[in-house]
Amino acid sequence: MAENGIGVAVRRKEDRRFITGAGRYTDDINRPDQLYAYILRSPLAHARINAIETAAALAAPGVVAVFTGADMAADGVGGLPCGWGVANKDGSPMVEPTHPCMVVDRVRYVGDQVATVLARTRAAAKDAAELIEVDYEELPSVTDIHSATADDAPLVWDEAPGNVCYDWAIGDARAVDAAFEKADRVVSIDVVNNRLIPNAMEPRAAIGEYDEATGDYTLYTTSQNPHVIRLLMGAYVLGIPEHKLRVVAPDVGGGFGSKIFHYAEEAIVTWAAKRVGRPVKWTADRSESFISDAHGRDHVSHAELALSDEGDFLALRVRTRANLGAYLSTFAPSVPTYLYATLLAGTYKTPAIYAEVKSVFTNTVPVDAYRGAGRPEASYLLERLVDKAARVTGIGPIELRRRNFIDPDSFPYQTPVALEYDTGDYDACLAKALEIADYAGFDRRRKESAERGKLRGIGIATYIEACGIAPSNVAGALGARAGLYEVGTIRVNPTGSVTVLTGSHSHGQGHETTFAQLVTEALGVDIDNVDVVHGDTAKIPFGMGTYGSRSLAVGGMALMAALDKVKAKSKKIAAHLLEASDEDIEFKDGKLTVAGTDRSVSFGEVALAAYVPHNYPLDILEPGLEETAFYDPKNFTFPAGCHIAEVEIDPDTGVTEVLNFVAADDFGRIVNPMIVEGQVHGGVVQGIGQALYEQCVYDPESGQLLTGSMMDYCMPKADNVPRLEVATNTTLCTHNALGVKGAGEAGAIGATPAVINAVVDALSGIGVDDVPIPATPERVWQAIRQAAA
Amino acid sequence: MEIQGEYLIAGPRERVWDALNDVDILRECIPGCESLERVSDSELQAVVMAAIGPVKARFNTKITLENLRPPESYTMVGESKGGAAGFGRGTATVTLTESVDSTELHYSADFRVGGKLAQVGSRLVLGATRKIADDFFGSFSRKLDAGAVRVEVHGGAGRQPAPASRTWLAIGAALLVLLIWWFLLR
């Protein structure tokens, strides 16, 4: 193992600048002569716009321009594209309404973009926006799934009857029906997956710039995938060819999916910059984030599990309705379908599965991928259902799971819902988690809590996720409108240092360290002599960005492929320098040696020779040492694991305290265990947040967002979280050379069902068999009271 | 949101009615009122600086008086815009009933808030509205040098216990104020 190579807990190289306040975020960037944009947003959930009067705003001090949707439409600006099409059961396409950057005549959610004011200061723009008179004719609105699917529901889109975007299904309905007929028992459950508001630490921001001399545009933006933004905005919205559009995503303070998508403000500032001939900057404030960042989750499901008397799962039937919000965000259609229902097998060998998903439009902020994206919804549903089955049958949560786990020797395992798992050992993770959680000692702890008048519960959840999205041909067959490979360049500089160019984007994941470790391992270059560059389409050859825990499994593999090319060329150069055959050159610890001899050259000497080719095989080899590779994965990767939560409830107040939390995960090979542990911590806290605190609430009558700030939207805080015990049990991914699977989302997937199962376990002794999520003190208290009544 | 309440105001019904319709009195008694003008016999326009929780803004409010039945009752329909702070909209009906030596004022209002006011202040609106009403009646009573007793105020969320009775002069103005407020607040 190299000193700072694979498997070493190297301290994060990027942290020095972050913790000294020297990070460079979009809002830290200021361009000469820039203007500030303020976006006037709809205060109504649904309304027709009869007129927008902007003259007074335009006359306000400091104001340079006021634009509306009509101005963009007149310029031929297109709508925001949707990157994934989903078909109905009958094969017809989903309803795909237009998604204008600024509305023209109808607003569809509180927060919809109505007008943009450009002024010399942010305050002047904001003040002037107050002078814009919008004549709204309010229309009835609908915000929740039940109301949206009611017979007389107001329509968000005239072209979407019943507000249905698509009615989709996966699996073999007939096989499932047959299995249910033969079943000894059927256990069913209704679950809600609560709507979440992402709240990355850094609000979104964007700066557009246009160079009249060259016709080049530049967009600085808070994005997880600058190349994707360049593609979508350039090709579909503004009609700017790639070579004339540079997208820079500098340091980004967290994304969790919410910064994958192409947002209107990016196109507005870029377009406006050309219109006014000055750079245009927009920065969201926190309140704006609540009503303009894509929200997450928001499912309502009914699920039934058919079992034999012995507890074998025979079939699973799931009916889900998902809220997509008012418009289709970039990847919205894929989240409740291909990223959700394909994971309903979980870690179990259920032979038949059928899932129907109806996704609906509502007058709410668009909903899209949020940490886990579909997979937390699948795990939550499945693990709640399995836990209920364990209770109802009396088989118990451990035995029932073990009985149905896919055996370690049955991989590759084809699920009934499209995926082929390559490897895993679910019982090993379960066993590890049980041991660390001291499951055997739980009864004693429960008694001790009871003596203090408290209700103690323990909850288990296993999970599996499909990461490393994705083999492009598979994704394409499922409706993706882009390839999902990744690109990496290894640029060896003349003195032997290395610059890594990666299409993956780091916004908290620690790529600058992890990717440098790959280089150190492969080339023996000191980690301080490796720099990782990302987030700039002018510097990086290409890329698809960071989401779905794909950076290492796809982006890292692209770098490995490039490193292989560098190593192969280095061997040829060394062979020339050492007057040997390149097949006889061994590359190890930064030295290239003729096998079986002590004749060697250092990697630095090879690099120098490549750039100063005085003694160099110019007849067979180009000078220079820089290689690029595109890597398209062969399959998804399948991280899996077991999380155990132990909670204590105060029956007098309904307050739930998480006392212990154990995560035993299989992420494949781990490059930096410290970073992985940090990823798990963050994910688990988000999962606990969903289980106990976070809930987006709209007023059902007016469609107003009622949880529009952190006063009303409760984020988990440090004192809500116990010490987290994190362990791993590794099986290597079989289809990538690193054996890596991905770790970014797991915490948020496993934690939520573990915590709710623990809450239900704590309350089951007093007759409560279900609690709403999030299990807030009020709801738990009500559940206790109802059970007592 | 729905809110209703009753005040017992010393003085004859006509006097209460007149005071409720006295723009000068209202302007001085409405907390944060920067201007209040009668646009027509049935229309009032006000600018009020108001704060609900963290939302502070200048609210432009229009109130239309309908179903005027002096000195018994009337309905106010109002809309209040606070720019970036959001908006409020609602209807309130005020009824004055003669009582021994006094006038009983009853109001019931239904209002909605939107925008930032809903996003960050909705929890606080009902309480803030009540406080503003109380402040108004306090000022109003001092202005008229008389006494009013608040009998009960309760909102849609459920009955609120009546606070210890205080002496206030209340007037349908209460309503007006409330209305303005709600609208403002919104």
The DSSP code sequence of A72-104 is HHHTT--PPPPSB--B-TTSPBPP-----SS-S
Place of tokens 């709240």: A199
CA distance A192 to chain B (A): 23
Among A126, A708, A711, whose Cβ lies nearest the Cβ of B118? A708
**According to DSSP H, which parts of A421-508 are helical?**
426-436, 442-451, 472-477
Mean local confidence (pLDDT), B10-20: 84
Choose the weakest-confidence range: A203-217, A239-253, A563-577, B120-134: B120-134
CA distance B86 to chain A (A): 7
Cα atoms found within 13 Å of the Cα of residue B27, Cβ hemisphere only: 12
The confidence score (pLDDT) of residue B158 equals 34
* Domain boundary residue, one of A631, A655, A689: A631
Task: For residue A242, give the nearest of A541, A31, A482, A34 by alpha carbon.
Answer: A541
Instruction: Give percent above pLDDT 90 in chain A.
Output: 98
- B87 in contact with chain A, both atoms CB, cutoff 8 A: yes
End-to-end CA distance of chain B: 11
Among chain A residues, the shortest Cα distance to B82 is held by A130
Phi/psi at A31 (nearest 5 deg)? -105, 150
Q: For Cα atoms B148, B154, B158, give the angle at the middle one, nearest 5 degrees.
A: 165
pLDDT, averaged across chain A: 97
Q: Are residues A374 and A424 both part of a single domain?
A: yes
Give residue A670's Cα distance to chain centre. 20
Helix orientation angle between A375-393 and A746-764, rounded to the nearest 10 degrees? 30
Structure-block tokens of residue A195:
């709507």
Starting at the edge strand that comes first in sequence, how are the strands of the sheet with A498-502 ordered?
A530-534, A498-502, A486-492, A626-631
Q: Look up residue A721 and give its amino acid.
A: V
- A699 in contact with chain B, both atoms CB, cutoff 8 A: yes
The confidence score (pLDDT) of residue B169 equals 33
Mean local confidence (pLDDT), B111-115: 87
The confidence score (pLDDT) of residue B142 equals 67
Q: Are residues A66 and A215 both part of a single domain?
A: yes
Identify the band that residue B175 occupies on the pLDDT scale cut at 50, 70 and 90: very low
* Domain boundary residue, one of A589, A614, A631: A631
The confidence score (pLDDT) of residue B135 equals 78
- 3-state SS record for A680-716: HHHHHHHHHHHHHCCCCCECCCCCCECCCCCCCCCCC
Domain total of chain A: 3
pLDDT per position as a tens digit, A111-163 = 999 999 999 999 999 999 999 999 999 999 999 999 999 999 999 999 999 99
Which are the contacts of A443, defined by CB distance < 8 A and separation ≥ 6?
none
- A488 in contact with chain B, both atoms CB, cutoff 8 A: no
Instruction: Decide if A708 and B86 are in contact by the 8 Å CB cutoff.
Output: no
Name beta bridge partners: A282: A206
- A702 in contact with chain B, both atoms CB, cutoff 8 A: yes
Cα atoms found within 13 Å of the Cα of residue A582, Cβ hemisphere only: 13
Q: Are residues A677 and A735 both part of a single domain?
A: yes
- B115 in contact with chain A, both atoms CB, cutoff 8 A: yes
CATH number for the domain including A75?
Answer: 3.90.1170.50
- Distances in Å between the alpha carbon of A4 and those of A388, A500, A560? 46, 16, 16
Dmax (CA) of chain B: 47
Domain containing residue A50: 31-139+201-254+259-292
Mean local confidence (pLDDT), A454-467: 97
Mean local confidence (pLDDT), A449-465: 98
Q: Is residue A166 within 8 Å of A94, Cβ to Cβ?
A: yes
Q: Coil, strand, or helix at residue B162?
A: coil
Identify the band that residue B163 occupies on the pLDDT scale cut at 50, 70 and 90: very low
Q: Are residues A503 and A649 both part of a single domain?
A: no
Q: Is residue A407 within 8 Å of A424, Cβ to Cβ?
A: no
pLDDT per position as a tens digit, A406-447 = 999 999 999 999 999 999 999 999 999 999 999 999 999 999
Rg over CA atoms, chain B: 15
The confidence score (pLDDT) of residue B122 equals 75
Identify the band that residue B111 occupies on the pLDDT scale cut at 50, 70 and 90: confident
Q: Are residues A766 and A677 both part of a single domain?
A: yes
pLDDT per position as a tens digit, A574-622 = 999 999 999 999 999 999 999 999 999 999 999 999 999 999 999 999 9
Structure-block tokens of residue A740:
């890596």
Residue A39 covered by a domain: yes
Is residue A659 predicted with pLDDT exceeding 60?
yes
Instruction: Decide if A699 and B122 are in contact by the 8 Å CB cutoff.
Output: yes
Q: Are residues A54 and A118 both part of a single domain?
A: yes
* Domain boundary residue, one of A566, A597, A631: A631
Q: For Cα atoms A387, A391, A394, give the angle at the middle one, nearest 5 degrees.
A: 130
**According to DSSP H, which parts of A308-410 are helical?**
375-393, 397-404
Choose the weakest-confidence range: A166-170, A269-273, A492-496, B154-158: B154-158
Structure-block tokens of residue B96:
């004055």
CATH number for the domain including A504?
Answer: 3.30.365.10
Phi/psi at B125 (nearest 5 deg)? -65, -45
Residue A180 covered by a domain: no
A245-248 and A585-588: which strand pairing? unpaired
The confidence score (pLDDT) of residue B162 equals 33
The confidence score (pLDDT) of residue A405 equals 98
Which are the contacts of A581, defined by CB distance < 8 A and separation ≥ 6?
A575
**According to DSSP H, which parts of A150-191 are helical?**
173-182
pLDDT per position as a tens digit, B117-160 = 888 777 788 788 877 777 777 676 666 655 444 544 444 333 33
- Distances in Å between the alpha carbon of A328 and those of A157, A357, A527? 12, 16, 43
Instruction: Decide if B114 and A287 are in contact by the 8 Å CB cutoff.
Output: no
Give me the torsion for CA of A710, A715, A721, A726, rounded to 10°. -140
CA distance A704 to chain B (A): 6
Instruction: Decide if B114 and A44 are in contact by the 8 Å CB cutoff.
Output: yes
pLDDT per position as a tens digit, A315-337 = 999 999 999 999 999 999 999 99
Residue A172 covered by a domain: no
Q: Collect all residues of chain B within an 8 Å Cβ-Cβ radius of residue A706.
A: 118-119, 122-123
Which are the contacts of A607, defined by CB distance < 8 A and separation ≥ 6?
A492, A493, A494, A495, A496, A570, A625
Instruction: Decide if A704 and B113 are in contact by the 8 Å CB cutoff.
Output: yes
Is residue A492 predicted with pLDDT exceeding 70?
yes
The confidence score (pLDDT) of residue A47 equals 98
Mean local confidence (pLDDT), A664-677: 98
Structure-block tokens of residue A481:
């409108």
Is residue B171 predicted with pLDDT exceeding 50?
no
The confidence score (pLDDT) of residue B117 equals 85
Best of B52, B119, B126 to substitute, by most chain A Cβ atoms within 10 angstroms, is B119
pLDDT per position as a tens digit, A513-528 = 999 999 999 999 999 9
Q: Collect all residues of chain B within an 8 Å Cβ-Cβ radius of residue A707.
A: 119
- Distances in Å between the alpha carbon of A320 and those of A146, A298, A708? 12, 10, 27
- A712 in contact with chain B, both atoms CB, cutoff 8 A: yes
Cα atoms found within 13 Å of the Cα of residue A396, Cβ hemisphere only: 3
CA distance B120 to chain A (A): 5
- B113 in contact with chain A, both atoms CB, cutoff 8 A: yes
Q: Look up residue B156 and give its amino acid.
A: G
Residue A424 covered by a domain: yes
Query: Between residues 35 and 54 of chain A, which touch chain B (CB distance below 8 Å)?
Result: 43-44
pLDDT per position as a tens digit, A30-39 = 999 999 999 9
Q: Is residue A751 within 8 Å of A683, Cβ to Cβ?
A: yes
- B100 in contact with chain A, both atoms CB, cutoff 8 A: no
The confidence score (pLDDT) of residue A220 equals 98
What whole-number distance in Å separates Cα of residue A442 and Cα of residue A429? 19
Instruction: Decide if A130 and B84 are in contact by the 8 Å CB cutoff.
Output: yes
Fold classification of B2-185 is: Alpha-D-Glucose-1,6-Bisphosphate; Chain A, domain 4 (3.30.530)
- A711 in contact with chain B, both atoms CB, cutoff 8 A: yes
Cα atoms found within 13 Å of the Cα of residue A596, Cβ hemisphere only: 4
Cα atoms found within 13 Å of the Cα of residue A225, Cβ hemisphere only: 29
Q: Are residues A444 and A501 both part of a single domain?
A: no
Q: Are residues A221 and A99 both part of a single domain?
A: yes
Identify the band that residue A2 occupies on the pLDDT scale cut at 50, 70 and 90: confident
Place of tokens 């049955």: A410
Q: Are residues A224 and A85 both part of a single domain?
A: yes
ipTM, two decimals, is: 0.75
Which are the contacts of A429, defined by CB distance < 8 A and separation ≥ 6?
A462, A640, A641, A642, A664, A665, A666, A729
Among B112, B115, B120, whose Cβ lies nearest the Cβ of A709? B120
Place of tokens 């490059």: A671
Q: Look up residue B140 and give its amino acid.
A: F
Best of B60, B79, B122, B183 to substitute, by most chain A Cβ atoms within 10 angstroms, is B122
Q: What's the helix, strand, coil split of chain A in %, to 5?
A: 30, 25, 40
Q: Are residues A627 and A644 both part of a single domain?
A: no
Among chain A residues, the shortest Cα distance to B81 is held by A130
Q: Are residues A642 and A780 both part of a single domain?
A: yes
Domain assignments of chain B as residue spans, ordered by start: 2-185
Among A707, A708, A712, whose Cβ lies nearest the Cβ of B116? A708
- B42 in contact with chain A, both atoms CB, cutoff 8 A: no
